[in-house]
Amino acid sequence: MNKFIKIDYLPRVEGEGGIAIEIKDGRITRLHFKIFEAPRFFESFLKGRSYSEAMDFTARICGICPVAYQMSSVHAIEKIFGIEIEKPIHELRRLLYCGEWIESHALHIYLLQGPDFYGIESAWASRQYMPIAKKGLGFKKLGNQIMAILGGRAVHPVSVKVGGFYKTPERKALIAILPDLERAYGESIEGIKWAAGLPFNNNAWDMEYVSLRHVDEYPINEGHAVSNKGLDKSMDRFLEGIQEYQVEYSTALHAGIKRDTSVSPYLVGPISRLNLNNDKLPLEIKNAINESGIALPIKNTQMGIIARSVEMAYAFYEAIRIIREYEKPDSPFIDFTTKAGEAIWITEAPRGMLIHRYEIDEGGHVKSCTIVPPTSQNLGHIESDIFHFLKNNLDKSAEIIKKESEKIIRSYDPCISCSVHVTYS
Amino acid sequence: MKRPRIGVFKFTSCDGCQLSIMNLEEKFLDLLELFDIAYFRETTDRPLTGHFDISIVEGSISTAWQKNDIVDIRERSRYLITIGACATAGGLQALRNWGSITDYKNYIYPSPVIINVLSTSTPISEHVYVDYELWGCPINEKAFSETLISFLIGKKPGIPIYSLCMECKRMGLPCILVSKSEPCLGPVTRAGCGALCPYFQKPCYGCFGPKEDANIESLLKQFQNMGLTQKECILLLDKMNTYAYRKAKIERS
Amino acid sequence: MTITKIKKDHLRLIFDRLKDSYKLVGPRVENDVIVLTEMDFHDIPAGYKDLHGKGVYRLSGNKDSNTFSFSLGPDSFKRFLSPPVREIFAFKKSKKGISANVSSKEEKPTAFIGMRACDISALKLYDKVFLEGPVRDTGYDSLKRNSLIIAVNCLYPNGNCFCDSLGTGPEVRDGFDLAITEIQDSFLLETGSSKGSEILNGLTIEEVSDKEMDEKNSRTEDCKKTIKRHIKVNDLPWVIYRNPEHPRWTDVASRCLACGNCTQVCPTCFCNSSYDRLELSGISKKSREISGNKVRAWDSCFSKNFARVHGGNFRPSRRARYRHWMTHKLAYWIEQFGSPGCVGCGRCITWCPVGIDITEELEAIRK
Amino acid sequence: MYDKSIPFEAKIRWIKKETRDTATYAFKITSREIERAYRFIPGQFNMLYMPGIGEAAISISSAPSDHDLTHTIRVAGDVTTAISRLDTGDVLGIRGPFGNGWPLEEIEERDLMIIAGGVGIAPLRSVIRHILNDRTEPRHVKGVRGGKISSPARIILYGSKTPKDIIFRDEFPRYRDAFQTFLTVDKADPEEYWRGDIGLITGMWNKTSFNPLNTVVFMCGPEVMMQSMVKELILKGVPGEKIFISIERNMNCGMGICGHCFFGPKFVCKDGPVFRFTDIEGFLGIKEI
Ligand SMILES: Cc1cc2nc3c(=O)[nH]c(=O)nc-3n(C[C@H](O)[C@H](O)[C@H](O)COP(=O)(O)OP(=O)(O)OC[C@H]3O[C@@H](n4cnc5c(N)ncnc54)[C@H](O)[C@@H]3O)c2cc1C
Ligand code: SF4
Ligand code: SF4
Ligand code: SF4
């Protein structure tokens, strides 16, 4: 029996993509995750521009995770200039990123993926789901508030600067949201239990997860790249082990880990981070994981919602910690001189590792740059994942296959507008 | 009374403006009381059908198929509102309008030929009639809800078209152009963001696009007096609203 | 009016006393600019010097042993007495009808610290606009009534000051509760009202010697001499009325950004717009109810929509808008309120991003 | 006294459609107290308020001696459109009255010429009805040419675009009791029955007989029309001091504190909207004043 399954325009994902699956005589003959989001060529525009514009330009790649872009670029450039940022700035940047994790995770958990488990078309399509959606909006709002205090607004904040921030917040302003954060933290722990209890498919398989790992902390802005299959590389070496390739049905490049004879897909994002770094979580959250009966490592990507819920709770935990310890630094940034050079930096965007490489000339202008967003790293993996699911479900109706594939894709929280920004290097 | 039907559409963009709609947070639920969100791909599964009382369009036109789609959307809509720098001015991606698309493609793709895009990125208003343009990169969510309210109750949205300086001064921020010789675009930029950058002691970089009757020539001359080169001055304009600023600069000179 | 003096280090006591019953608003350094905010004694930018040029401002610290060594920042009292955005009333329209309610907030009275002569003159003009017209503006009225003015006599004018030509400064004459003059070893205090005298009750105040009076006068004279900028007022308003088509208007329009900065920093510019502010939650489809606020916000005659009417705009060109602004300041005002609308504070010169200078433009029109 | 910065509520008692885009609305002020305190003179205006939408300056078209307080409103933009959707029994907000009004003391013992264009007749209707209601006023005897002219003379010149656009058309017969009335339209559809003049209002002089030196002119209409009318009136010998015109500007506060309505040094809201020609003469010709 032949089946042809097509989704022109995936709903509840960020950006424009579709899927085409063809099954002939019990064999999968085509499986394309199509990205037709138009490319925007920002990397080319950055050539010749001042280093200081990199943060504002790359932020516009993605409205959902602009902070990630600002963080990867600012750190890469600081590395080139040999700037060592001070502890308070490190902490504030982590806080800013926590804001984005909360915002992005809450949006995905409660408003985008959540409805899948309730069989509804949107988060507001049923009365029963409304309280859950409201809760999500509540979390999301707090994430946004953190970003607004630190950066003026949640989408494309304006305060990040090479060497620190343009201006650091008053302690008063941060303390003011502490009670709300503390309450939300409690609720987010409950949220882990809720996520763990959702009905999942049984599409578990043996995959390779890659994330940053840091000696002291759950990775956000720093660390080195590791995987469960032995990969362990410093940030600057990571790209060497990666192969990017173009497929004719997509405006986004794919990426895989170069192995002896092949290029193998890998997974980045909350599942990878949690699987590889759960030892760095505070006890309270570890307990919540155990009490919810979550078995680590997570091997089913649909359970990304669990990993996201854990990380959201962690982001609240961290935000509270940082705010409690915060003292406004004397100067919002440190002085520096520009230098020529090249550097790679990776940070953990909500969807996974975001790689930036810059080459800067004597005058502080960008000579070349490479950006590898998490979603483009996941594209190959998404296809493998669906392939894996199909293999065991070839007998299912086209309708079911379509729905389930859509759900699998959605569980990655793919950021398609990001994914078309990847430079071939 | 029937709730007006709303469609949210996306062209070439970062989704940030759509996210700003979600960032209305609990007010988003108020929005649902008043409007029927009949199409919003990023958040719901409902298919594209029928006509819309208000269509909200994010993103610029940068591919051939988008040119057709926008005409279709226009035909389905009573009012069409564009949101954000991409849709109202072509976005940051409109920087390609001043260069060679082939170079850009070559820089990014191993097989550039299969990338099918237009050589320009243009605002929606260059393709179809737009009833109202909401500026910003991203838009301000308050302005967005005010716009919808205005259409709902039948008035012109009262969103200012005057300079950012007005907003900056209302907030009591000392001018960084005057006190620090920072090249702030505030005097030629629309109010609407809440003077975020001046608040952070950072020169305005023009998220909200040119204000009405922007005297760009005169401001750039002042920047040159402050020591910027002519090229640096132009680069200041060449950001998310490059297309609109350059147009305003030409129109005024 | 009596004049007494206190030792320099006793000034703090006045602040301490004021704090009990007033919110103190005065000069303070923020982001390298002297702004007007809530403040306390230690916030006074003592020893600071502010340099003002055309479109340029720089602050340098600790150059001087004087307390009031600085001059004016961009802000004036108007930020507090006619706030940038103010709710006028809350409205509700329902099936039952329309209601408009003024919410009255009890606010702590404000003491304005360090107001200069030009600003006090401006305040008098504000009174004419908001209190002496056909309708008394209740909001301004109550804020004003509730305030206390501690003036400071200017001794170190900045490069853009020209109050002297307009007779609005540099020394304060009236319209204050207490006026401070800084001399070598002490502060001379003039009381201008009973509220002003009350503040001094119980403080160790001393008599002022003739020598000290002489010092005050000679310092004021010196101050006048250091005022560099002047404006000729004898032929106002006619010199402007005679020249509505002067080519200089086109010239200034090529420089003017119509950004409105001049009007926002000017202590006498009062233009504003009122509009209805609605929230999504203020509309109920079911009950057909609408509720929201009527808000009044600072506006500017440089805004293009300012003179817009249905079907047209009375001042579409930048040329006409600059002309209107300057003509209002220096000519119309005289007819409307009996004196020019400019008090010579020079703020519009300093804070114009392209340094357009009202005194220079007037001279050019005169030629 | 009530606070004129806060609107009070008024209910629509009746609506009379005048033309395609204009209607007259009669209002009843809801609060007895305010109704009693509310006093106006012809030529003054109110700020009509549609909550959530905004305010529009609209002249009072009834006379103080009339039973109803009326406004005659042409649909122009947001507020006026919203008002046009209201029904009898609906409410809106009113602030006012504002402005100076027509100088009625000037017309005692003097000839009065009322010149109106378009909806500009609204504030003049207030004067017309004031005169009609006033028993001490002389009545006009029909048959102008050769007939007896009342003294002092009372004249109305009214111009509108087409016969269909004539506001208060049904009231004109009554106006003829006290006024010599002259109607003209820019153009008339041949299909339509139209006995009046065709052409600009400026071309109607010769039909009227009045003594320029003893005449007071009240005028309201488009600014260009008023400018050319004034020119001709002065040529005819009417003293500039005796010409009064009502001017329109952007009106925001209505009470002299917002700066929007300046006409040269004048606040249209409090110094006007009615101005003696000679007081504003110098500014009338200046572009973009
Ligand atoms: C003294 C006086 C008496 C009048 N008497 C009458 C009368 O008796 N009958 C009559 O029909 N008309 C009269 N008018 C004219 C009437 O006031 C206008 O037609 C009316 O204000 C139109 O209001 P609107 O809201 O319907 O129109 P709009 O054009 O929607 O709004 C008009 C006003 O709204 C503001 N506005 C609208 N859009 C914008 C925007 N995009 N940005 C900024 N501001 C904007 C402007 O301030 C503008 O003046 C009078 C005017 C005056 C000054
Ligand atoms: S205008 Fe700015 S925020 Fe909006 S979609 Fe475009 S790049 Fe994103
Ligand atoms: S800081 Fe920028 S926006 Fe603010 S007043 Fe100065 S020029 Fe205008
Ligand atoms: S016009 Fe200029 S100098 Fe005069 S009072 Fe205003 S700001 Fe000061």
Number of domains in chain A: 2
Ligand 1 atom with the smallest distance to the CA of D99 is 1
| pLDDT tens per residue across span C37-84 | 999 999 999 999 999 999 999 998 877 788 999 999 999 999 999 999
Q: Which of A214-228, B172-186, D212-226 has the lowest mean pLDDT?
A: D212-226
Beta-bridge partners for D9: D93
pLDDT at C81: 93
Cα C223 to Cα C217: distance, rounded to the nearest angstrom: 10
Query: Percentage of chain A surpassing pLDDT 70?
Result: 98
The CB of B197 under 6 Å from ligand 3? The reply is: no
pLDDT at D275: 95
CB contact under 8 A, B115 and A251: yes
Neighbours of D, requiring at least 3 CB pairs below 8 Å, are: B, C
Pick from B175, B192, B189: nearest CA to B139: B192
Is B61's Cβ below 8 Å from some Cβ in A? no
CB contact under 8 A, B165 and C31: no
* Nearest-5° Cα angle at B198, B193 to B204: 70
Give chain A as a 3 state SS string.
CCEEEEECCCCCCECCEEEEEEEECCEEEEEEEEECCCCCCHHHHHCCCEHHHHHHHHHCCCCCCHHHHHHHHHHHHHHHHCCCCCHHHHHHHHHHHHHHHHHHHHHHHHHHHHHHHHCCCECCCCCCCHHHHHHHHHHHHHHHHHHHHHHCCCCCCCCEECCEECCCCCHHHHHCCHHHHHHHHHHHHHHHHHHHCCCCCCCCCCCCEEEEECCCCCCCCCCEEEECCCCEECHHHHHHHEEEECCCCECCCEEEEECCCCEECCECCHHHHHHHHHHHCCHHHHHHHHHCCCCCCCCCHHHHHHHHHHHHHHHHHHHHHHHHHCCCCCCCECCCCCCCEEEEEEEEECCEEEEEEEEECCCCEEEEEEEECHHHHHHHHHHHHHHHHHHHHCCCCHHHHHHHHHHHHHHCCCEHHHHCCCCCC
| pLDDT tens per residue across span B78-132 | 999 999 999 999 999 999 999 888 887 777 777 776 677 888 999 999 999 999 9
Is B27's Cβ below 8 Å from some Cβ in A? no
Ligand nearest the Cα atom of residue C305: 1
Over 60: is that where the pLDDT of A354 sits?
A: yes
Which domain range does residue A170 map to?
A: 42-419
CB contact under 8 A, B41 and A158: no
Average pLDDT estimate for A163-176: 96
Beta-bridge partners for C60: C49
Average pLDDT estimate for C31-37: 94
pLDDT at D145: 46
User: CB within 6 Å of ligand 2 — which residues?
Assistant: A 60, 63, 155-156; B 13-14, 16-17, 58, 84-86, 91-92, 137-138, 240
Q: Which two tokens stand for residue D207?
A: 């039909």
CB-closest option in C135, C307, C310 to D260:
C307
Judgement on whether residues A260 and A119 belong to the same structural domain of the protein:
yes
| pLDDT tens per residue across span C155-169 | 999 999 999 999 998
CB contacts < 8 A, B to D, total 14
Beta-bridge partners for C283: C290
Over 60: is that where the pLDDT of A95 sits?
A: yes
pLDDT at B114: 66
Smallest Cα distance from D255 to chain C, Å: 6
Judgement on whether residues A144 and A163 belong to the same structural domain of the protein:
yes
Beta-bridge partners for A333: A164
Cβ partners under 8 Å of residue B113, min gap 6: none
Is A211's Cβ below 8 Å from some Cβ in B? no
Ligand nearest the Cα atom of residue B134: 2
Query: Percentage of chain B surpassing pLDDT 90?
Result: 79
pLDDT at B21: 93
- Domain assignment of residue A75, yes or no: yes
Over 80: is that where the pLDDT of C139 sits?
A: yes
| pLDDT tens per residue across span A107-123 | 999 999 999 999 998 99
Ligand 1 atom with the smallest distance to the CA of C273 is 47
ipTM comes to: 0.92
Chain B residue closest in CA terms to D77: B155
Smallest Cα distance from D61 to chain B, Å: 26
Ligand nearest the Cα atom of residue B137: 2
pLDDT at A1: 64
Smallest Cα distance from B205 to chain D, Å: 31
Judgement on whether residues A337 and A375 belong to the same structural domain of the protein:
yes
Judgement on whether residues A263 and A114 belong to the same structural domain of the protein:
yes
The CB of C264 under 6 Å from ligand 3? The reply is: no
User: CB within 6 Å of ligand 4 — which residues?
Assistant: C 265-268, 329, 342-348, 358
Average pLDDT estimate for C245-260: 95
Is A6's Cβ below 8 Å from some Cβ in B? no
CB contact under 8 A, B200 and A49: no
Judgement on whether residues A23 and A142 belong to the same structural domain of the protein:
no
CB contact under 8 A, D52 and B156: no
Compute, in angstroms, the gap from residue B186 CA to the centroid of ligand 3.
Answer: 5
Smallest Cα distance from A162 to chain B, Å: 13
Cα A104 to Cα A350: distance, rounded to the nearest angstrom: 7
Is B32's Cβ below 8 Å from some Cβ in C? no
Judgement on whether residues A367 and A285 belong to the same structural domain of the protein:
yes
Domain of residue A146, CATH code:
1.10.645.10
In this prediction, residue A393 has a pLDDT band, given cuts at 50, 70 and 90, of confident
Q: Which two tokens stand for residue C316?
A: 């579409």
- Domain assignment of residue A425, yes or no: no
3-state secondary structure of B64: helix
pLDDT at B59: 95
3-state secondary structure of B134: strand
CB contact under 8 A, D250 and C307: yes
Pick from A406, A370, A380, A191: nearest CA to A268: A380
How high is the mean pLDDT of chain D?
88
DSSP result, B17-38: HHHHHHTTTHHHHHHHHH-EEE
Judgement on whether residues A64 and A135 belong to the same structural domain of the protein:
yes
Q: Do chains C and B meet with 3 or more Cβ pairs nearer than 8 Å?
A: yes
Judgement on whether residues A13 and A146 belong to the same structural domain of the protein:
no
Q: Which of B163, B168, B188 to mutate to test the pocket of ligand 3 (most atoms within 8 A of CB)?
A: B168
pLDDT at D146: 45
Domains annotated for chain D, with CATH where assigned, are 8-98 (2.40.30.10), 104-246 (3.40.50.80)
- Domain assignment of residue A110, yes or no: yes
CATH class of B5-152: alpha beta
Give chain D as a 3 state SS string.
CCCCCCCEEEEEEEEEECCCCEEEEEEEECCHHHHHHCCCCCCCEEEEEECCCEEEEEEECCCCCCCCEEEEEECCCHHHHHHHCCCCCCEEEEEEEECCCCCHHHHCCCEEEEEEEHHHHHHHHHHHHHHHHCCCCCCCCCCCCCCCCCCCCEEEEEEECCHHHCCCHHHHHHHCCCCEEEEEECCCCCCCCCCCEECCHHHHHHHCCCCHHHEEEEEECCHHHHHHHHHHHHHHCCCHHHEEEECCCCCCCCCCCCCCCEECCEECCCCCCEEEHHHHHHHHCCCCC
In this prediction, residue D181 has a pLDDT band, given cuts at 50, 70 and 90, of confident
- b/e code D169-207 from CB counts within 10 Å (16+ = b): eeebeebeebbbbbbbbeebeeeeebebbeeebbebbee
Q: Which helix (H) or strand (E) is B53 found in, with range?
A: strand B52-58
Cβ partners under 8 Å of residue B75, min gap 6: none
Strands A352-360 and A341-349: antiparallel
The CB of D250 under 6 Å from ligand 1? The reply is: yes
Average pLDDT estimate for D174-200: 82
Over 60: is that where the pLDDT of D148 sits?
A: no
Chain A residue closest in CA terms to B94: A40
Judgement on whether residues A50 and A113 belong to the same structural domain of the protein:
yes
Pick from B157, B159, B151: nearest CA to B55: B151
pLDDT at D212: 85
| pLDDT tens per residue across span A143-154 | 999 999 999 999
Judgement on whether residues A47 and A158 belong to the same structural domain of the protein:
yes
How high is the mean pLDDT of chain B?
92
Average pLDDT estimate for A299-323: 97
CB-closest option in C97, C138, C307 to D9:
C97
- b/e code B218-231 from CB counts within 10 Å (16+ = b): bbbbbbeeeebeee
Q: Which of A239-248, B55-64, D11-20 has the lowest mean pLDDT?
A: A239-248
Judgement on whether residues A101 and A13 belong to the same structural domain of the protein:
no
- b/e code A73-86 from CB counts within 10 Å (16+ = b): bbbbbbbbbebebb
- Domain assignment of residue A324, yes or no: yes
> Atom 6 of ligand 2 has which residue's CA nearest to it?
B86
The CB of C312 under 6 Å from ligand 1? The reply is: no
Smallest Cα distance from B154 to chain D, Å: 7
The CB of D248 under 6 Å from ligand 1? The reply is: yes
Give chain C as a 3 state SS string.
CCEEEEEHHHHHHHHHHHHHHCEEEEEEEECCEEEEEECCHHHCCCCCEEEEECCEEEEECCCCCCCCCCCCCCCCCHHHHCCCEEEEEEEEEECCEEEEECCCCCCCCEEEEEECHHHHHHHHHHHHHHCCCCCCCHHHHHHHHCEEEEEECCCCCCCCCCHHHHCCCCCCCCCCCEEEEECCCEEEEEECCHHHHHHHCCCCCECCCHHHHHHHHHHHHHHHHHCCCCCCCCCCCHHHHCCCCCHHHHHHHHHCCCCCHHHHHCCCCCCEEEEEEEEEEEEECCCCEEEEEEEEEECCCCCHHHHEECCEECCCCHHHHHHHHHHHHHHHHHHHHCCCCCCCCCHHHHCCCCCCCHHHHHHHHHC
Judgement on whether residues A113 and A10 belong to the same structural domain of the protein:
no
Average pLDDT estimate for A408-422: 80
pLDDT at D204: 75
- Domain assignment of residue A154, yes or no: yes
pLDDT at B209: 96
Is B117's Cβ below 8 Å from some Cβ in C? no
The CB of B186 under 6 Å from ligand 3? The reply is: yes
pLDDT at D75: 96
Compute, in angstroms, the gap from residue A399 CA to the centroid of ligand 2.
Answer: 35
Neighbours of B, requiring at least 3 CB pairs below 8 Å, are: A, C, D
The CB of D45 under 6 Å from ligand 1? The reply is: yes
pLDDT at A4: 85
